Amino acid sequence: MKSLTLLTALLGLTTATSIRSEARPKRTVYDGYKVLRVAAGDDAAKLNKIIADLDLETWKGAAKVGGHADVVIPPSKLSLFKAQAAGFETLTMHEDLGVSISNESGFQTYAAGTADQTWFNSYHPYADHLTFLRDLVAAHPNQSEIVTSGTSSQGNTITGIRFWGSAGKGVKPAIVFHATVHAREWITNMVAEYQAWYLLQNYGSDATVRSFVDKYEFYIFPIVNPDGFIFTQTNTRLWRKNRQSNSGSTCIGRDINRNWPIQWSASGGASTSPCAEDYKGQKQSDAPETTALAATLNRIKAAQGLKLFIDWHSYSQLFMSPYGYTCSSVPAKNAEYQALSKGAVAAIKAVYGTTFNYGPICSTIYKTTGSSVDYALDVTGADYSFTLELRDTGANGFVLPAAQILPSGVEAWAGLKYLLANMK
């Protein structure tokens, strides 16, 4: 993946000194960059060739016939792209990506010790996320604790929160959430944290919440790709992968959601190129984040059972079930999966009118091999395994305004509430 970088508005953002990082490559800015949604029509191959020939960044995978590509275009290539893609219908997502990122990234100072709803008014530096989780535990010391799931390739701890109900910890089936697998998907950590905050905050006053927390034990890891997330805040806002070096290549990073030991060798669901955003690695589980996260899932399953696994992503507004690695096979209880998904997306829509589509991953979005959702179901043995693509459908894409954080969390809770109430 070529190096795009963060606005000068974030140059003053720093993380705690305990957070390890590599020497910073030179920053550039996104000023003048445009993001265009280009309809492929019947000429997907032609559009993909133009994108490849101009070495342009895309926010989603290659365009398919009848589909589209969301393309990031620097000022230096705009006229050339417009000339070559003159026959394609386009929609402007971001007129000036630099301005959009600047508007998105107005970080508010977090008052340590509060852990209240104001947290969801803005995005936050990585160090503040760790403080927020510690503050949640401090506010609920008898039913929660900080947990970890190993370390990243640069030595940052994968930190989460664990909480339980009246029966105590370790005795009820577990629910596990992963978020910020892909570093640029900032909305996902905020939504995952909202679920933790809401469940703990309302445990004492809401009988439905209390019933869920008494029935299950929750493990929520809001940022499972800490190196990549830190990099999006200090260098490259649109970075996706981890920050692991690749032998024989100057390109950095693996897609840790293409690196799990499940159908890793199957073709068509990930890239073998170290420079690609969906690079699957030199071998399965060679990303330390993947190895650590898989070990944690399996340990939880063995100790207390794993009822539900959710991998939170953005963007596209999709509520998806396995499988990602094949479009010709579905889990044995696929009918139940689709019924649950249908009910969950109806519950989401009932809040603000936000429409989510649903279905198996491969047929709903695209083929993915070596993914956590397939692993959690078929290897770990979770009872249920889902992946959600949160807001929006492309008006803002990865650069979702902070004003949409709280609504995203609230509507996601509605979908989760339906799921928890109707799982067998």
User: To which H or E segment does residue 187 belong?
Assistant: helix 186-201
Distance CA 312, CA 415 (A): 13
Residue 94 backbone phi and psi in degrees, to 5: -135, 115
For residue 53, give the nearest of 86, 77, 88 by alpha carbon: 77
Distance CA 19, CA 226 (A): 9
Catalytic residues: 389
Largest distance between two CA atoms of the chain:
65
Q: Which amino acid is at 192?
A: A
Q: Token pair 């929609």 is at which residue?
A: 91
Cβ atoms within 10 Å, residue 95? 12
Write the secondary structure of 116-152 as one string of H (helix), E (strand) and C (coil): CHHHHHCCCCHHHHHHHHHHHHHHCCCCEEEEEEEEC
SS3 169: coil
Can you read off the two tokens belonging to residue 27?
A: 């920053």
> DSSP readout, 7-44?
-GGGTT----TTS--PPPPPP---TT-EEEEEE-TT-H
For residue 146, give the nearest of 135, 155, 156, 154 by alpha carbon: 135
User: To which H or E segment does residue 313 belong?
Assistant: strand 306-314
SS3 219: strand
Distance CA 250, CA 263 (A): 27
Q: Which amino acid is at 286?
A: D
Q: Which amino acid is at 155?
A: G
Distance CA 171, CA 345 (A): 31
Distance CA 331, CA 321 (A): 9
